[in-house]
Amino acid sequence: MKYYFAPLEGITRYVYRNAFEKTFGGIDKYFAPFISPTKDSPLTPRNRMELESENNSSLNLVPQILCNNPEVFIDAASRLIDMGYKEINLNAGCHSATVTSKKKGAGLLEDLYNLERLLDSIVNFGLASGLKISVKTRLGRFDQDEFFKVLEIYNEFPLSELIIHPRIEKDFYKGDVRIDFFKYALEESKNPIVYNGDLFKKDDIRKISQLAENSPAFNDALMLGRGLLINPYLLFRQDGDGKIDQLFFKFHKEIYEGYKEIMSPDKNVLYHMKELWTYWARNIEGCDKEIKSIMKSKRYEEYDIGLNNIKAKLMA
């Protein structure tokens, strides 16, 4: 089985990806959080920094584009090819209202004529330039049955992979994944399929693997996002147990030092660290008071006290 790290905007930045790879590894492909090119700005300086090969040299990285305009996509993609990339992923899943109202992300799934036109242009560009085009998609915007037509569109094009998060836009990340629709895709997709969604425990991984393994369309790959964020040991340990040991603090240090190198002042670095703690907190028991003090910290000194208290408690 291959394992992919899902794109998580604001979180799986290059500092995080490198820290994860160095500490835990075991990831076959990392998907970078989306970039959102425009006609006047195909790649921002920050996009370049995040995707630059020297900042990602030990990773197998796929950039992701959030876009509904073929020319804008192709302009950005050409620059990514120049940077050495051989696969680009189209975001057809983002559920944020500011994105979908512009018919991007999951908003692409409403106007199938436009989706078809976009795929036609970018897949042909891919074929002509040797660039693989993959898609990460939800089932639809408002109704799961939209997926029947959506899959028909995807089936018209040779995608390198179709990564399916079997929810609709209005689900956000709530409720159970709509697994019957993933099964339908396994039967009907002409493109290689990857599963994404709610893989939090080894047992979740086992169940999906068993469900998909005999389907010729399954690409033997699972994409994990929050499961790895919450418990970075999930794939690293045979049983997926999330018990914290020194490795976690090594991982933390890589991220913390990495952000300090590229950001200032304290509050910007701490903002990113606190976002991570909202996930890590779900894997750590008995440290509520210490985590609360981390969340309240405004300066490195305060943050470090909270961190050291957690370390002392968990490593005792």
Could you list the residues that contact ligand FMN (CB under 6 A)?
6-9, 11, 33-34, 64, 91, 93-94, 136, 165, 196-199, 224-227
Compute the least distance from the CB of residue 304 to ligand FMN, in Å: 25
- Of the candidates 181, 229, 175, 227, which has an alpha carbon nearest to the alpha carbon of residue 203? 227
Query: Closer to ligand FMN at the Cβ: 235 or 314?
Result: 235
Q: Are 224 and 6 in contact (CB under 8 A)?
A: yes
**Least Å from the CB of residue 8 to ligand FMN:** 4
What are the residue ranges of helices labelled H in the chain?
14-23, 45-51, 70-82, 97-100, 112-129, 146-155, 179-188, 202-212, 226-230, 246-262, 266-280, 288-296, 300-315
Cβ-closest residue to ligand FMN?
225
Q: Please report how close the Cβ of residue 301 comes to ligand FMN at its closest, in angstroms.
A: 28
The contacts of residue 171 (CB under 8 Å, 6+ apart) are: 95
* Residue 162 β-bridge partners: 135, 193
Token pair belonging to 227: 């499961």
- Nearest CA to 161 among 86, 57, 81, 83? 86
Q: How far is the CB of 241 from ligand FMN (least distance, A)?
A: 18
Q: How far is the CB of 289 from ligand FMN (least distance, A)?
A: 26
- Residue with Cβ nearer ligand FMN (66 or 314): 66
- In angstroms, give the least distance from the CB of 167 to ligand FMN: 8
From CA 56, how far away is CA 51, in angstroms rounded? 7
Q: How far is the CB of 138 from ligand FMN (least distance, A)?
A: 8
Nearer Cβ to ligand FMN (203/245): 203
Strand (E) positions, 66-131?
A: 87-92
Q: 250 near 23, Cβ under 8 Å?
A: yes
Of 100 and 196, the one with the shorter C-beta distance to ligand FMN is: 196
Q: Could you check whether the bond before residue 7 is cis, i.e. omega within 30 degrees of 0?
A: no
Q: Which is nearer to ligand FMN, 91 or 314 (CB)?
A: 91
Nearer to ligand FMN, 134 or 314 (CB): 134
| Residue showing tokens 């790959």 | 221
Decide whether 229 or 314 has the Cβ nearer to ligand FMN: 229
